[in-house]
């Protein structure tokens, strides 16, 4: 059972996407719905230069926090000098207590047609920025864990979050050893996700943070099949309000009380993103 007294941090939520598809009122409504469900804080990562200011403004609007970065899926349209523009933005925003990380950055070797070398250049440039400004990073990890770890060994940062982690136990331990927490969200709710569910159950409790990636990675109860879409059903859209129910699945896999997971995941989020502590005080 999900108790109202449990307070949750969604460590990865793209609230700006709700505004893109439904206007500011839609984003406001989703954030309010999440608050009613017990989500006290959302971390809003940017994906490219076009939405840096948007996520910053939304974080201030809702009392949340944000990260600034260039997502690997946005590297094809990014300009070669965008990392320099990002550097200037980070320098301006560094005194802002709501700027908690560099992100969302990383590598994606699942989506076809992306230039791997270009992704690597942007990834390494942004690791350098995280080092310069002493900020943690929020990593996009999609069939790329080993390459991401290689970059972190060569350009170590102060940790952060491996978002939507779905790698091996060995890779999980490598990220944890580098000071990272691992993000678990809607994908863990699928019974066929055996490896992911095993990790959620067996990894140390202090290694886990919770996230939705809303409006992406919907939990199984929101999933719309291809047949349903062909029949006219709208595509599934996740929401930060789903986080407590996702957390209940993780707690069940671990055999612990939901409240214990709520407390641990909040502590873990603050360890991964230290500037959160003051915002939650």
Residue ranges of the binding site? 12, 14, 104, 140, 163, 213
Give all strands (DSSP E) within the chain, no chain letters.
8-10, 39-45, 65-68, 99-108, 137-142, 160-163, 180-184, 208-210
CB 24 within 8 A of CB 57: no
Cβ atoms of residues 217 and 10 within 8 Å: no
Pair 74, 88: CB distance under 8 Å: no
Strand duo 99-108 + 65-68: pairing: parallel
Rounded to whole angstroms, the maximal C-alpha distance in the chain is: 51
Distance, in Å, from the CA atom of 139 to the CA atom of 79, rounded to the nearest integer, reads 21
Residue with tokens 């802002």: 96
Distance between CA atoms of residues 175 and 204, nearest Å: 13
For the purposes of burial, counting CB atoms within 10 Å of the CB of 5, is it exposed (0-12), middle (13-18) or buried (19 or more)?
A: exposed
Tokens of 250: 């993780």
State the Cα–Cα distance between residues 14 and 5, nearest whole angstrom: 25
* Binding-site residues from annotation for a divalent metal cation: 12, 14, 104, 140, 163, 213
Question: What six digits make up the tokens of 254?
Answer: 């671990």
Query: CA 50, CA 31: separation in Å to the nearest integer?
Result: 22
Structure tokens at 275: 């500037």
């Amino acid at each position: 059972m999900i108790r109202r007294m449990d307070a949750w941090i969604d460590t990865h939520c793209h609230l700006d996407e709700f505004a893109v598809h439904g206007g500011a009122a839609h984003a406001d409504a989703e954030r309010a719905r999440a608050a009613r469900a017990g989500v006290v804080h959302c971390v809003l990562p940017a994906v490219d230069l076009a939405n840096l200011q948007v996520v910053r403004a939304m974080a201030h609007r809702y009392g949340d926090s944000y990260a600034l970065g260039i997502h690997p899926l946005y590297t094809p349209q990014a300009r070669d000098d965008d990392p320099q523009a990002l550097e200037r933005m980070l320098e301006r925003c560094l005194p802002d207590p709501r700027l908690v990380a560099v992100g969302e950055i990383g590598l994606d070797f699942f989506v076809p047609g992306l230039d791997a070398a270009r992704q690597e250049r942007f990834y390494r440039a942004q690791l350098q920025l995280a080092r310069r400004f002493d900020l943690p990073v929020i990593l996009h990890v999609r069939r790329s864990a080993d390459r991401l770890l290689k970059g972190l060994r060569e350009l170590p940062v102060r940790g952060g979050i491996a978002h939507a982690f779905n790698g091996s136990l060995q890779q999980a331990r490598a990220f944890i050893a580098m000071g990272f927490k691992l993000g678990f969200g809607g994908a863990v709710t699928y019974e066929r996700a055996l490896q992911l569910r095993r990790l959620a159950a067996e990894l140390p409790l202090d290694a886990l943070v919770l996230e939705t990636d809303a409006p992406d990675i919907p939990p199984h109860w929101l999933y719309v099949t291809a047949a349903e879409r062909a029949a006219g059903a709208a595509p599934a859209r996740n929401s930060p309000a789903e986080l407590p129910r996702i957390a209940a699945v993780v707690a069940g896999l671990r055999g612990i009380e939901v409240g214990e997971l709520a407390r641990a995941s909040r502590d873990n989020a603050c360890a991964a993103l230290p500037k959160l502590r003051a915002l939650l005080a």
